[in-house]
């Protein structure tokens, strides 16, 4: 089992003249950032070849030093003789260099532990709603890179603390008094509600409630649901897969990465509109540039040192999406703008799939589905 909590954020400072004191390194728009780090967060690494990594983006930064997990994540259902332990495998920060990024917490249940419990029980069923709720409730400590003080919170509630820590880490030391993180948070930088990806592997089945629904065009092994007790509806994307926890297939991985990044872009766009007060023709330009950049990256995407058997299929899926939307930036921008408007309103989120289903369509539709399926059959 693999659980990924993606917390989207908007960083509008690249659009501001002078950048409000934003540090120039790492250069998130570069193909090769070289040796770099984010102060108080962690080192920058080139995109890797692991299925749990951030394939599809140029590079990421760890934030191991900025956030500490205070308790291991355990997963238990009624009738189990013992719980499953989900190790925190990574804490990674990605930013597109334009306006959108995300913090990702990746948890992994060991395949052997999972298979042993399945053999003991004869079958293994998991409620992804509770898994997501437990992951969001994980107690963490966010460390101020300046003061070095650890402040307790949860992944669900880390927004302001992590946002201010990010601002402190990415603002020049000499400009911190001019642009204090406590004042900049909520304007130039803001974090959004977490989105949880739960991947059930090795034939583990999903227990589902009445609020689960498969998006239009999905193959039935993917559906949306809601975390137990969550403030938002439909904040969990569930994938049921027959392969091991670290053997994510190419199409699965492509959907996850594209979905996460477009979700972050959508949140950033919505925050930009909130800060600006309205979205005129000139105000849409930053999103257009971000989408142009995304399409260009994916069209020319090549994994570094591929090792996994699904890397070829993943590459084909990502480049196919980039090719499909090449020259259609305005269409993607329009859809993301509409979805950002939906996300800002409570009604669609509370009453139906709303923006989640529409975002899924943007990821897999418009001629991409057939090409991705063909690539998946060829390479996994």
Q: How far apart are CA 362 and CA 99, in angstroms?
A: 20
pLDDT score recorded for residue 224:
86
pLDDT score recorded for residue 276:
77
Q: How far apart are CA 359 and CA 143, in angstroms?
A: 34
pLDDT score recorded for residue 282:
52
pLDDT in single tens digits along all 380 residues of the chain: 999 999 999 999 988 888 899 998 888 877 666 677 788 888 887 655 443 444 446 678 889 889 999 888 999 888 899 999 999 988 999 998 888 999 999 999 988 998 898 888 888 889 999 999 999 999 999 998 777 789 999 999 999 999 999 999 999 999 999 999 999 999 999 999 999 999 998 888 888 777 777 776 666 688 888 888 776 677 888 988 888 887 777 777 878 888 888 888 888 888 888 887 654 445 567 778 888 888 887 777 766 544 555 667 777 777 777 887 888 888 888 888 777 776 666 543 444 456 677 777 777 664 445 444 554 454 44
Q: How far apart are CA 136 and CA 156, in angstroms?
A: 5
DSSP state of 93: E
Asked whether 107 and 89 are in contact (CB, 8 A), the reply is yes
CB-based burial, 278-310: b 16+ in 10 Å, e otherwise: ebeeebbebbebbbeebbebbbebebeeeebeb
pLDDT score recorded for residue 283:
57
Residue 368: both structure tokens together? 């991409």
What residues contact residue 327 under an 8 Å CB cut-off, 6+ apart? none
**Which residue stretches of 48-158 are H helix?**
111-121, 128-136
Q: How far apart are CA 326 and CA 298, in angstroms?
A: 10
Three-class secondary structure of residue 104 per DSSP: strand
Torsion sign, CA atoms 238, 371, 99, 67: positive
CB-based burial, 160-176: b 16+ in 10 Å, e otherwise: bbbbbbbbbbbbeeeee
Q: How far is CA 219 from CA 215, 239, 252, in A?
A: 9, 10, 11
pLDDT score recorded for residue 351:
44
Q: What global pTM score does this model have? A: 0.87
């Amino acid at each position: 089992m693999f659980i990924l909590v993606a917390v989207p954020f908007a960083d509008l400072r690249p659009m501001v003249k002078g950048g409000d004191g934003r540090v120039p390194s790492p250069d998130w728009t570069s193909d090769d950032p070289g040796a770099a780090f984010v102060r108080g967060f962690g080192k920058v690494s080139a995109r890797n070849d692991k299925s749990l990594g951030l394939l599809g983006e140029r590079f990421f930064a760890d934030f191991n030093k900025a956030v500490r997990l205070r308790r291991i994540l355990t997963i238990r259902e009624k009738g189990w003789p013992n719980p499953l332990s989900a190790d925190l495998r990574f804490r990674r920060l990605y930013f597109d260099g334009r306006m959108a990024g995300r913090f990702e917490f990746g948890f992994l249940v060991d395949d052997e532990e999972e298979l042993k419990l399945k053999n003991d029980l004869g079958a293994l069923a998991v409620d992804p709603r509770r898994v997501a709720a437990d992951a969001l409730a994980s107690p963490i400590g966010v460390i101020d890179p300046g003061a070095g003080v650890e402040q307790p919170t949860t992944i669900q509630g880390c927004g302001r603390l992590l946002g201010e820590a990010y601002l402190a880490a990415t603002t020049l030391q000499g400009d911190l008094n001019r642009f204090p993180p406590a004042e900049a948070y909520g304007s130039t930088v803001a974090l959004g509600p977490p989105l949880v990806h739960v991947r059930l592997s090795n034939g583990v089945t999903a227990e589902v409630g009445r609020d689960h629904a498969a998006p239009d065009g999905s193959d039935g092994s993917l559906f949306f649901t809601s975390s137990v007790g969550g403030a938002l509806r439909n904040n969990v994307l569930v994938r049921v897969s027959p392969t091991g926890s670290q053997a994510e297939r190419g199409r699965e991985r492509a959907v996850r990465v594209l979905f996460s990044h477009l979700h972050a872009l959508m949140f950033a766009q919505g925050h930009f509109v909130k800060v600006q007060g309205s979205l005129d023709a000139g105000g849409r330009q930053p999103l257009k540039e971000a989408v142009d950049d995304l399409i260009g990256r994916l069209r020319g995407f090549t994994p570094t040192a591929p090792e996994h058997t699904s890397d070829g299929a993943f590459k084909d899926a990502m480049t196919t999406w980039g090719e499909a939307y090449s020259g259609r930036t305005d269409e993607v921008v329009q859809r993301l703008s509409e979805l950002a408007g939906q996300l800002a309103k409570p009604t669609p989120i509370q009453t139906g799939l709303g923006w989640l289903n529409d975002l899924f369509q943007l990821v897999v539709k418009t001629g991409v589905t057939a090409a991705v399926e063909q690539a998946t059959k060829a390479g996994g």
